[in-house]
Amino acid sequence: METKRLHSNNNKDKKLKRKEVLEKKKAIDEIIKAAYAEKDHLLSFQPFRQYDRSGLFLYLESGSGEHLSSPMKRYIQSLLKVNMEGSYGPEWPTEEKVKRREMVAPEACYIFVRAPNAGINKMSRTEEMEVTCTRYMGEGDSVVGFVQYRFIVEEEVPVLYVYELQLEPRVQGRGLGKFLMQLIELIARKNHMGAVMLTVQKTNSLAMNFYMSKLRYVISTISPSQVDPLIGAEKSYEILCKAFDHESKAKLEVLHLNEL
């Protein structure tokens, strides 16, 4: 009788655990669904819709991968090539095809940075030449950069994953990238994400320094270098993370000795 009772209790425990797992998964799925249901994530952050600093006067607008115009697609592709071809090296032709598919995915959310005619002051001749490589030829004001992000699940944590943060060279180094990442973190928190995550090429030392030193992102537990150091050494990228709560930190962030 005692053995049967123990067996029955074990079955009940397993059913309860299975129920808890399913309920947690359902709750996370609902969080992701709710985040995508909001079509314009900038509506809740009106102060962030304009950027008026460091000789720049810019404004932001939302977009989605399935509604990109042909000129916008061409602009995104050209800016990616200008900014990323050097970091990827021989991997670029393959990676470029991947990015083209990601660009138009229905789940791809965008923030576009636009500049009115007089929105950029003191542009040097070098910068003017760079503009010709990435000039937006579509309707409306010029586009000078964009963020592409998605809401996904990593290690049972809902996260906002930044697929791209791309700015034209003429607007870099003026605080705009930090401004956009602060906005991204606010969007993530408002939509109940546990973290913001992104991928950075190891050879892109400027980007690594920007995220890890200036914005305090850390290498994630799911980055190849942490999953398997031998395999990670052969990979060309790291996955970085900034988690917002204890549970997400425990699952997604690598703890350093002084944090143990």
Task: Please state the domain extents for the chain.
Answer: 1-37, 38-259
- How far is 237 from 102, CA to CA, in rounded Å? 18
What pLDDT sits at residue 125? 47
pLDDT of 260? 43
Q: What average pLDDT does range 98-110 have in this prediction?
A: 97
Between 230 and 258, whose confidence is greater? 230
In terms of pTM, does the model score above 0.75? Answer: yes
What's the token pair of residue 19?
A: 């129920």
Tell me: pLDDT of 87 over 60. yes
Average pLDDT of the chain to the nearest whole number = 90
Strand ranges for the chain from DSSP E: 50-53, 56-64, 109-115, 142-154, 157-167, 195-201, 218-219, 237-243
- Tell which wins on pLDDT, 39 or 148: 148
Question: For 21-49, what is the mean pLDDT?
Answer: 95
Q: Which two tokens stand for residue 228?
A: 């398997």
Which amino acid makes up residue 89? G
Q: Please state whether beta strands 50-53 and 56-64 pair in parallel, antiparallel, or not at all (unpaired).
A: antiparallel
Q: Which of 44-53, 132-141, 234-243 has the lowest mean pLDDT?
A: 132-141
Could you please state the CATH topology (level 3) that the domain comprising 38-259 is classified under: Aminopeptidase (3.40.630)
The more confident residue out of 217 and 231 is 217
Half-sphere exposure of 194 (CA within 13 A, CB side): 18
248 pLDDT more than 60 = yes
CA 119 – CA 143 distance, rounded (Å): 11
Average pLDDT over residues 196-224: 97
- pLDDT of residue 160 exceeding 70, the answer is yes
